[in-house]
Each structure stands twice: as C-alpha cells, then as structure tokens.
Amino acid sequence: MQKRTLGKSGLEVSALGLGCMGLSFGLGPATEKSEAIKLIRAAVDRGVTFFDTAEVYGPWVNEEVVGEALAPVRNSVVIATKFGFEPDPNNDNKWTRTNSRPDHIKQVVDASLKRLRTDTIDLLYQHRVDPNTPIEETAGAVHDLIQAGKVRHFGLSEAGAKTIRRAHAIQPVTALQSEYSLFWREPEQSVIPTLEELGIGFVPFSPLGKGFLTGKIDANTKFDSTDFRAIVPRFTEENRKANQSLVDVITRFANQKQATPAQVALAWLLSKKPWIVPIPGTTKLSRLEENLGATNITLSPEEIQALEAASAAIDIAGERYPATHAKLIDR
C-alpha cells in the first residue's frame, strides 16, 4: 500500500483509509461485531493504516469495535476519532446538538481513549463547528490535550476557510475532513486553496458519493429505515434517476481503464493532490478489495481533464443533506 503524509504535519498514513462508520451506524443495520472486527483486520492485512471513527457513530459502539479490532496492531496504525456533539437531554439516541466547549472535549476524549483501548488518539477532529463556542477555545482545548499526550494531531470536519485559519493560528490543524467526490466538488473552491496554503491535509469522506458512484445504486434501490440516505434529498428516487448520468460518465471511463466506477472515482481523488487521503467505507470484503485496487490506477492529465469536463457538464439534482444537517455545515 502506498503511503501519504497529511499536509506538513508529518502524519503518514496509507493512501486510502477505512471509514468505519457504516459498520455500526448510518447506512443500514449494524454489522455483527465479530464480522466488523474481521473486516477491519482484513484492511490491516492489506496495508491500510488509517481508520476513522467517532463517538457519535452508534453512538459509542463504533469506537469500541475499532478499538478491539486494532488493539493487536495499535502501534502500526493511525486512529482518528471525533468530538463535537452531545445527546439531546430528552432523547439519548438523538445527537444533533453541537458542544465543543473545552470541558466537554476533555471528558469526551477520556471516554474515547477507553473505548479505543489506547493511550493516545492519533487524530482528533472537531466533528462539526460549534456556533456557540469560539473556535479559538476549542483549538486551545485540543492544544492542551496534545500537551498532555492524549492526542497527537488536531483536525476539523466540514469547516470553512475562515474557521480553519482561526483554529490553525491557535493549534496547527493537521487535516480537514469534509465530503469531496465527483458527486460534490464544492471544496475545490471553498477550502482546498486554503489547505494548500497552510499545509493541511484533506481527508474526503463519502468519496464514492455515499455509494452512488459505485454504480450499484439506481432509481429502484430501496433503503432501509436505518439508512441515512433514506432522508437525503439527493437520494430521492427522482434525483437518483436524474443523477444516473454522472454514473454513466464514470462507468464509460472505467470501462476504458478496465476498472470499476468506484476505482475510477477514487483514483480521480488520489490524482488531485498528494496530501488527499480518501476514507471509503464498506461492510464487505469484496468492496474493500475493489476500493484498494484504486491505488493501482493512474489517470493521465488528459484523462483527468476529460473526466472532469464530462462530469462538470452534468447538473447534480438534490441537496446533499436534509435541512437539519445542512445547518451544521460551516462555510
């Protein structure tokens, strides 16, 4: 597996990481624990060293699974987790309230360390920007945790350029994690220039458009009630039908490369910057191996230009988040 360094931080990880959320939360029924552990360890065996989780995934369960799976190889992998939410006092299963106050962050980190079975979190992200807490206070709390040895690196998720700069001035930011794919290219204008200027790495989540760019989802697909995509405007039946033309474009390029659409979509991301590290998630070994195959595909500058031109000509239908989630995006 090829390695990449996230910006100027010195944090070296595999060129593709594994997003672990879907094993426990968000994309349908949870994977049985032993099977989830088996998949994570299969990723390790194939050279993946970068694993992404969060306290809210489950909640809590995903960190426990990741911690148990990686305990035997802890010194040779990088674990990223996140803080920034708290349960609704009237509903423990509802996590839409942001909380990045310093005291809360420190409590969350202590709990995450126990669930992850580790003494140090390699990369700690603020899950979403908290409008009620100045980012300088949040960055200062993470700085304290780094000084205490509980955290190695600081990250942000779905943060805008101004917030990134303010945080970076207090505690250097190692990576930004935000959605980025051929299905959502907005970061190219909003944040990537700032990341390049400051030497911050970029970790795209949903690099396969929440599965849409694999070509395995169409207008006839039915989502389980526990699948987040069931409430995402971009995934309504009408919008899936409208957006199929993007998958068709990627599929044509994939056929020319003797690859799959997912591999071309990931190879495109890897071609954009050497400090971009996508974290596709999956619950299936076959999909894991397919995704990792993207690291062996090279797209020429001419192929990249043609792919981008063809995809840019398509107007994507539907918002990427329902209104309740969209308001948490900092831009």
Residues acting as catalytic residues: 57
Report d(CA 82, CA 175) in Å as an integer.
12
Closest CA to 179 of 201, 154, 203: 203
Neighbouring-strand partners of residue 81 = 124
Q: At 283, is the secondary structure helix, strand, or coil?
A: coil
Question: Do 269 and 239 form a contact (C-beta atoms < 8 A)?
Answer: no
Place of tokens 């207090």: 170
Q: What is the C-alpha to C-alpha distance for residues 272 and 294, in angstroms, rounded to an integer?
A: 14
Of 213, 281, 207, residue with least CA distance to 243: 213
- 322: helix, strand or coil: coil
Decide: helix, strand or coil at residue 186: coil
Per DSSP, 23 falls in state: G
What is the identity of the amino acid at 109?
V
Question: CA-CA distance, 284 to 309, in Å (whole number)?
Answer: 32
